[in-house]
């Protein structure tokens, strides 16, 4: 943006950071505004992809902004844009070669679109029917029961189903057997498909588990 006629010259040491601001705004366009504030003049020195109706030479209005001489990165924090959009922001303290603070590079990200997506997903994923009705609907669905058992077992151990080694797979089969997951006529074939093994392999593991239980 073009600075006003009465704009004071910015601190020279800030100039190299203008390209950084331009690059970050370009990479994340159109969602990120990058603003370089000059601490010496108290004004905006440079702005890329402006979304806040500010320009070079406008006051930074940093009075009361919480930071100290040791600060490097401030935030993330939240701001509300002029048009009501929610902005997630972070400020980076810009220093000279001696480590003295010259300015702030503020990255302001418009997250209002993501908020709308989140609300849409929450509405879509929320259960529509009372859980009692759902439970009665699936009371005889052994597929659902097996799926839940497998999902709970792997989640508790931080495992991924298609990456189980043989020992982990056998432990899961043992748990399914203990919970009665193989009582349905076609359950073994279904579990074999879930585990990515042949039915012969699954039956072999079940036979070995029964033999071990008999020995105990």
pLDDT of 119-152, one tens digit each? Answer: 888 877 776 555 454 444 444 577 878 888 899 8
Percent of the chain at pLDDT exceeding 90: 39
Q: Token pair of 138, please?
A: 């699936």
Q: How confident is the model over 210-215, as a mean pLDDT? A: 78
Cα separation, 41 vs 28, in Å, equals: 28
Domain count, the chain: 2
* pTM of the predicted model as reported, rounded to 2 decimal places: 0.56
Alpha carbons within 13 angstroms on the beta-carbon side of residue 159 total: 19
For residue 131, the enclosing domain spans 123-210
Q: Is 48 helix (H, G, I), strand (E, B) or coil?
A: strand
Task: Answer yes or no: do 137 and 196 share one domain.
Answer: yes
The CATH number for 88's domain is: 3.30.450.20
pLDDT value at 4 more than 60: no
pLDDT in tens, 73-96: 988 989 888 777 889 999 999 998
Query: Do 107 and 147 reside in the same domain of the chain?
Result: no
Contacts for 13-18: CB closer than 8 Å, 24+ residues apart? 13/96, 13/102, 14/38, 14/45, 14/46, 14/94, 14/102, 14/103, 17/46, 17/94, 17/103, 17/105, 18/45, 18/46, 18/48
Q: What is the pLDDT of residues 153-177, one digit of tens each?
A: 999 999 888 889 999 999 999 999 9
Asked which of 70, 95, 115 is the last residue of a domain, the reply is 115
Q: Where is the domain boundary, 115, 150, 183?
A: 115
Report the DSSP beta bridge partners of residue 46.
36
Shared domain for 148 and 180, answered yes or no, is: yes
> Residue holding tokens 């220093």?
95
- In this structure, are 81 and 128 located in the same domain? no
- Same structural domain for residues 18 and 100? yes
Based on the fold, state whether residues 129 and 79 are members of the same structural domain. no
- When mean pLDDT is compared across 21-25, 31-35, 125-129, 203-207, the lowest value belongs to 125-129
Which of the 8 DSSP states describes residue 95? E
Question: Is 216 inside a domain boundary?
Answer: no
């Amino acid at each position: 943006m073009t600075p006003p006629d009465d704009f004071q010259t910015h601190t020279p040491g800030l100039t190299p950071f203008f390209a950084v601001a331009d690059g970050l705004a370009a990479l994340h366009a159109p969602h990120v505004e990058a603003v370089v504030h000059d601490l010496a003049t108290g004004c905006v020195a440079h702005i890329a992809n402006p979304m806040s109706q500010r320009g070079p030479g406008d006051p930074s209005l940093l009075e009361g902004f919480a930071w100290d001489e040791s600060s490097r990165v401030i935030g993330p924090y939240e701001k509300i844009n002029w048009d009501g959009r929610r902005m997630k922001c972070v400020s980076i303290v810009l220093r000279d070669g001696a480590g003295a603070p010259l300015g702030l590079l503020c990255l302001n990200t418009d997250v209002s679109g993501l908020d709308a997506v989140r609300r849409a997903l929450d509405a879509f994923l929320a259960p529509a029917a009372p859980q009692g009705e759902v439970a009665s609907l699936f009371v005889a669905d052994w597929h659902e029961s097996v799926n839940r058992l497998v999902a709970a077992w792997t989640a508790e151990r931080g495992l991924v189903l298609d990456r189980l080694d043989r020992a982990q797979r056998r432990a899961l089969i043992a748990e399914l057997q203990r919970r009665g997951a193989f009582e349905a006529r076609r359950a073994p074939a279904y579990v074999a498909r879930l585990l990515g093994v042949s039915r012969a392999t699954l039956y072999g593991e079940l036979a070995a588990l029964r033999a071990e239980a008999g020995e105990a």
